[in-house]
Amino acid sequence: MAATSSCQCCSLRPHPFHLEAVRNEAVVISGRKLAQQIKQEVQQEVEEWLASGNKRPHLSMILVSENPASHSYVLNKTRTAAEVGINSETIMKPASQPKKHKILADIMITATGIPNLTTADMIQEGATVINVGINRVHDPVTLVGDVDFEGVRQKAGYITPVPGGIGPVAVVMREEREVLKSKELGVTTN
């Protein structure tokens, strides 16, 4: 006598990320639409800023690299700044990290990948210092940024720590983009 059983938990039912029963290709998820939306919002904010009688925002990028990927990244930043109404310039410097230009910055964003490279004597009093770089030192667990945090925090007006500064924001922004893209595609998430 053969025993038969049925398992209700194995019944076919739609899964949260199921788009079609049979697919030949993956769905391409592009960030271009979201990027365009963000650019439109920034452009509107720039126009409002100017209409209030303020000076046009200006972005200065100091490029200390011969890496073609870095040059491409900076070129894209320049193009995007122009699209949204922000003036920009790229200052090319040899590897010997351009102290005089850093001192003039109201906002410094550093992503060099060199631990503690930016020191207090490289920033102006009250500057905002955004430390994007993350570096492992001494052991695989100890993390520091590109900024000498303890020294610079005595002079800066605002500063982001590493870890715990930009990283958590970047993670949340990625999550937000994924949720927005999922909604756009009609994909349900739990």
Q: What's the confidence (pLDDT) of residue 40?
A: 93
Q: Which two tokens stand for residue 141?
A: 């667990």
> CA separation (Å) from 163 to 109, 141, 147?
15, 11, 12
* Closest alpha carbon to 82 in 65, 49, 59: 59
Pairwise CA distance, residues 36 & 40, whole Å: 6
Tokens representing 73?
């990244």
What pTM value is reported for the model?
A: 0.57
pLDDT tens digit at each of 190 positions of the chain = 444 434 444 444 444 555 555 567 876 666 787 788 889 999 999 999 999 999 999 988 888 777 787 888 889 999 999 999 999 999 887 766 656 556 778 888 888 888 898 999 989 899 999 998 888 887 778 889 999 999 999 999 999 999 888 888 877 877 877 777 777 777 655 5
Residue 23 pLDDT: 61
Residue 145 to residue 115: CA distance in whole angstroms: 6
3-state secondary structure of 7: coil
Domain-wise residue ranges, the chain: 43-184
Architecture (CATH level 2) of domain 43-184: 3-Layer(aba) Sandwich (3.40)
121: DSSP letter: G
* Dihedral of alpha carbons 125, 126, 130, 136, sign: positive
The residue assigned the tokens 């990625």 is: 174
How much is the pLDDT for 166?
Answer: 83
Identify how many contiguous H helices and E strands the chain contains and give both numbers: 5, 7
Q: What is the pLDDT of residue 120?
A: 93
